[in-house]
Amino acid sequence: MLTFTLTLVRHGETQYNKDKLLQGQGVDTPLSEPGLQQAEATGLYLREIRFSNVFASNLQRARRTAEIIMRSNVHSSGVEIVCDPLLRERGFGIAEGRPKEDLKNMANASGQSCRDYTPPGGETLEQVRLRCKKFLKALYQRMVDDHSSGQSHAAVGTEATVAGADVPLAGLPADGMEGICVHALVVSHGAYIRVAMRHFVEDLQCTLPQGLRMSQVYSACPNTGISRFIVTLSPSESGLVPSTVHCVFTNRKDHLVTCLT
């Protein structure tokens, strides 16, 4: 058994984000100046967290965000950032590079909701979910391979943390990490994170903080928005599986106050 926290961050803003243009996988623009500031603010917010493992999409906007976050980290200077194509944004096919409004119009013309519509050449939501599950399966194995020897003390306090999920959070960067010494950071993309949230809630029966509405759970993650989960892994006939998953918070943006004012 292994318990670890998973901190999930969306990349910083790009000019395409600001202009409401779809990027997907084929368009990979750099962080804008506000995006760089957001990444810096995220790094300062998380600077005292000792991340055991760090993963990022191999698209430059996510990779650069992860690099900036880790540059500010006090305790994780030697941790490698593993860039994984499985963390890439959803592919939007012919809609990439075009205004988001075009995607809505294409969906309306096909009689589908924008969320469920797949443009020609794009990925379906199910394909993204399968890609997400493939990444998580590899993540689980990596975490166990790297840290299972220290599990005798890594999970201490986890049950108390999850059982106390109804207690209001202190609003601190280390919320949910008490008593757990294995922590993973993952930097990815908006549509991918929304699919990941559905996988956690619908497939893994993730427990949620008291009072959190489902509309909030599935809402769009802001640039450098932060979500955190406590994951406990157990062996099964099909390999390592999450026996419990608890969401500590979603889409937190406390660190962006100075960027937005």
pLDDT digits (tens, 9 = 90+) for 11-46: 999 999 999 999 999 999 999 999 999 999 999 999
Torsions phi, psi for 53 (to 5 deg): -145, 145
Q: Is the pLDDT of residue 252 over 60?
A: yes
The two three-digit tokens of residue 156, written as one number = 């201490």
Determine whether 183 is an active site residue.
Answer: no
Domains of the chain (ranges; CATH) run: 2-260 (3.40.50.1240)
In b/e form, how buried is each residue of 219-230, taking b as 16+ CB within 10 angstroms?
A: eebbbbbbbbbb
What pLDDT, in 10s, does the model give residues 146-195? 998 754 444 433 443 454 455 556 689 999 999 999 999 999 999 999 99
Known catalytic membership, residue 255: no
Q: Are 10 and 190 in contact (CB under 8 A)?
A: yes
Q: How many Å apart are CA 91 and CA 128, to the nearest integer?
A: 9
Determine the pLDDT at residue 150. 53
Q: Choose, from 48, 75, 80, 89, the residue flagged as catalytic.
A: 89
Which one of 11, 147, 183, 189 is the catalytic residue? 11
User: What is the band of 199 on the pLDDT scale with cuts at 50, 70, 90?
Assistant: very high
Distance, in Å, from the CA atom of 85 to the CA atom of 176, rounded to the nearest integer, reads 28
